[in-house]
Amino acid sequence: MRVVWSCRTDVGIKRTINEDNHRANPAELLFLVADGMGGHAGGELASRLAVEIVERFVIETRAGTTRPLPFAPQPRLSPESNRLHVATRLANREIYDMAVTQPPLRGMGSTLVGLLLHGREAHVVHVGDSRCYRLREDKLQALTKDHSVVNALIDGGQLDRDAAYRHADRNIITRALGVDPDVEPEVSVHELRLGDLFVLCSDGLTDRTSDRKLSELLEPLVEASGINPGRSEIEREHLEQVAEALVRYANSRGGDDNITAMLIKVIG
């Protein structure tokens, strides 16, 4: 499988520290975005640990390795989904242990969204409100559902999605890495097709960009060069331009949070 990818991360207009972190490992077909919380030192550290620990675990548990799992695998999950699930729980435990043993870091935590491509499947893991979208042809679909107060209100029929962007509690999440001794990551599996485009992003983008506007900003990729593995540099340039446009738009709408947008396209 061949992919091209691009990522843009920005501190935003109103912050001085970027607490977002990301990892792209095309060799493993693994892509991660994390959004830290807990102040200057804690938030940046928590998100960096999140992506580093998950990446390291996925590398160490590739086919043929014999590393013992720190948690029992879930019978309902495939081997690849279990790798993401266990890796995320491991990241949670290490961040939590550091936070409780080092007083200056108490209260730190991080969201996480990750994508692992394998065969004809896309495995998605998330904790918190960092999101994964898939653009297939001209249809944008959210593959994650925020672990947040606002989303619980939506699920309960107490709030509609249009009002969610203006809700006072829209930034309150109900699940994060490092807050409790253990966490339950949400993992989903999706059929993978040639030409699929995935967007991983922190809430600095989605708090200021509706799904409808996000679809509009991604439209140039629908109209771009198409699928041609021999034109990967052109594909990458298109992704870079759109990633920059996403960050620019979020900043134009206030830019009051860190912004990370990672785009991954399957080209072969």
Q: Which residues contact 258 (CB under 8 A, 6 or more apart)?
A: 9, 10, 11, 12, 15, 18, 19, 20, 35, 202, 204
The tokens for 43 are 């938030």
- Weakest-pLDDT range from 91-95, 169-173, 251-255: 169-173
Cut 0.85: pTM above it: yes
CB contact at 8 A, 58 and 82: no
186-191 vs 121-127, strand pairing mode: antiparallel
Q: Which two tokens stand for residue 171?
A: 């930034």
The upper half-sphere exposure of residue 41, i.e. CA atoms within 13 Å in the direction of its Cβ, equals 8
Give 72's DSSP letter: P
Phi, psi torsion values for 128, nearest 5 degrees: 95, -145
Q: Which amino acid is at 75?
A: P
Specify the length of the chain in residues.
268
Listing DSSP states for 156-220 in one string gives: TTSS-HHHHTT-TTTT-BS--BTSSS----EEEEEE--TT-EEEEE-HHHHTS--HHHHHHHHHH
Say how many Å lie between the first and final Cα of the chain, rounded.
5
How does pLDDT run across 122-179, given as a tens digit for each residue? 999 999 999 999 999 889 999 999 998 888 887 787 777 666 666 666 678 999 999 9
Domain coordinates of the chain in residue numbers?
Answer: 3-266
State the CATH architecture for 3-266: 4-Layer Sandwich (3.60)
pLDDT grade, residue 73 (50/70/90)? confident
Helices (H) and strands (E) in the chain, counts: 7, 10
CA–CA separation, 111 and 179 (whole Å): 10
pLDDT in tens, 4-31: 999 999 999 999 999 999 999 999 999 9
Residue 61 pLDDT greater than 60, yes or no: yes
Gap between the Cα atoms of 83 and 89, Å rounded = 10
Strands 3-10 and 109-118: what pairing?
A: unpaired
